[in-house]
Amino acid sequence: MNYKIQLENLHCNSCKKIAEKRLGKIEGVTSVEVTMEDQTALVHTEQPLSLLQTEDALKDTDYKVTAFTEI
């Protein structure tokens, strides 16, 4: 399964790495690629992913999920 997640408040490469690491720790996630230019994360999973899981993974950061779409 593939998901496109629109993020907010990514300002630098360190932000990108933190978001990738946090999202990558969600159970079932096999890969994460964050793009700074459009502040999106492409997430590939072995099982369904929920908006709540993504928000929970980023809860102690300044990053906010503004859109969540299965693609």
Q: What's the CATH number where 55 sits?
A: 3.30.70.100
Amino acid 64: pLDDT: 94
Q: 17-55 pLDDT, tens per residue?
A: 999 999 999 999 999 999 999 999 999 999 999 999 999
- Whole-model pTM? 0.92
Amino acid 4: pLDDT: 98
Structural domain that includes position 13: 2-70
Amino acid 21: pLDDT: 97
Instruction: Please state the φ and ψ torsions of residue 42, each to the nearest 5 degrees.
Output: -100, 120
d(C-alpha 12, C-alpha 9), whole Å: 9
> How many distinct structural domains can be found in the chain?
1
Residues whose CB is less than 8 angstroms from the CB of residue 63 and which lie 6 or more positions away in sequence, other chains included: 7, 8, 9, 10, 15, 18, 19
Token pair of 56 as six digits: 């929970």
